[in-house]
Chains A and B, each alone.
Chain A
Amino acid sequence: MSAARPPEGARTAARQGGGNPTGAARPPEGARTAARQGGGNPTGAARPPEGAPVNGLGLDALDRRIINALQGGFPLSDTPYQDVAEGLGIDEATLLARLQRLLDTGVLTRFGPMFQIERLGGRFVLAAQAVPEERFEAVTALVNAFPEVAHNYRRTHRLNMWFVLATETPEGIDDVIRRIETATGLPVFAFPKRREFFVDMRLQA
């Protein structure tokens, strides 16, 4: 994994989250409603993955303002929630209760620092496998059982299983790849990042 180290200063500029960039291909309201209900989706979008909350689940305008305001820049002050609440024109108790509910309902997966693990000595590597359809469920269970597997997605390709491996040391990656290959009997394709050009997962709520 000693491939080209990314140059420092690859783009890190902040940007407000994506939304619909150009308005090209913005779907009619009806399409989104249909997608939300999971039936007769005219765009052919995949059904929501298992465990995903219903699209737009009970989010009101204040929830959206909170999510948009809190996607970065949380203050390092004595009373950061109080400071954020003031900026939003609400009281601290309301903000804390809303955040708790957004976490409980899975609208937020986390609230806290987002670490760049490579800068702390660890490694993240994207990896993929071509899993035969009839073994897909069994292989999913085998792969997910590894604590080093942080995320795992099914995708539309012959390489149909894509997961992110996270380890505390660079050497740990090669080791877990070997163990996954042994457990599944399938080769693992590793796609370590060579350069990072842009990362910003903020999306407008």
Chain B
Amino acid sequence: MTTRPPDDLDRRLVLATQAGLPLVPRPYDVLAEQLGISPGEVRARLADMLDNGRIRRIGAVPNHYALGYTANGMSVWDVPDERIVELGEAVGRLPGVTHCYERPRALPDWPYNLFAMVHGKDRASVLAQVEEIATLLGSACRGRDVLFSTAILKKTGLRIGSGA
């Protein structure tokens, strides 16, 4: 990639917006005033950060539970490393999969290298989606598990500049 390295303005924009965008008619003007730059510069920089992937998107982050998605299963799979890209991309395309990653195994405790998070309105619908993943993986699946969440112990999201 030829994009510029992150700079101070990127960081200041993160700090200014990590708690949220101001709920006022001209939110970018408020940020501009806070940051000491023009509203046009704020918008241009946000557009730039969207282009280079430093911002995934701008919008609302719903609490899944509030929308009725009370079942949250982390499905984990042991698949051959040499097929991980092909399989991971295919699993990521399944509806209902919200995240799909390759992660390292931790042998002997943890043989799984493919993680696919599935959200559903109950455990049965999550398990049905997990079965679809199993069908897709076929004989490439050498081991599997689903870890349901039973309590949110903390959820503050990303916070930088907290002195950490």
CA distance A41 to B28 in the complex (A): 46
Judge whether A198 and B67 touch: CB under 8 Å: no
B60 and A108 form a contact (CB under 8 A): yes
Hey, which chain B residues are within 8 Å of A31, CB to CB?
122, 124
Interface size class of B (residues with CB under 8 A): 35 or more
Contact: B101 with A193, CB < 8 Å?
Answer: yes
Give 5 nearest A-B pairs by CB, closest first. Answer: A198-B92, A21-B95, A25-B128, A197-B88, A52-B65
Please determine whether B62 and A120 come into contact, CB atoms closer than 8 angstroms: no
Interface Cβ pair total, 8 Å cutoff: 336
Q: Is the CB of B157 within 8 A of A168?
A: no
By beta carbon, the residue of chain A nearest B98 is A201
When chains A and B are docked, how far (Å) is the Cα of A162 from the Cα of B17? 27
Enumerate chain B residues within 8 angstroms of A197, measured Cβ to Cβ: 85, 88-89, 91-92, 100-102
Q: A204 contacts which chain B residues (CB < 8 A)?
A: 67
Beyond A26-B125, A157-B147, whether A189 also contacts B56 by CB under 8 A is no
Q: Are B18 and A112 in contact (CB under 8 A)?
A: yes
Which residues of B line the A interface, CB within 8 A?
1, 5-6, 10-11, 13-14, 17-21, 23-29, 39, 43, 46-47, 49, 52-72, 74, 84-85, 88-89, 91-104, 106, 109-110, 115, 119-125, 127-129, 132, 145, 147-160, 162-164
Alpha-carbon separation in the docked complex, A113 to B121 (Å)? 27
Say if the beta carbon of A150 comes within 8 Å of chain B: yes
Q: Report how far A67 CA is from B24 CA in the complex, Å.
A: 18
Inter-subunit contact B66/A106 (CB<8 Å): yes
Contact-residue size bin, chain A (C-beta under 8 Å from the other chain):
35 or more
Task: Tell me whether A107 and B98 are in contact in the complex, defined as CB-CB below 8 angstroms, given that A119-B6, A162-B147 are known contacts.
Answer: no
Sampled A-B contacts (14; CB under 8 Å): A20-B96, A24-B132, A27-B122, A35-B70, A41-B122, A76-B43, A102-B60, A121-B5, A148-B164, A150-B157, A195-B88, A198-B89, A201-B61, A203-B98
A window 135-152: CB within 8 A of B: 140, 143-144, 146-152
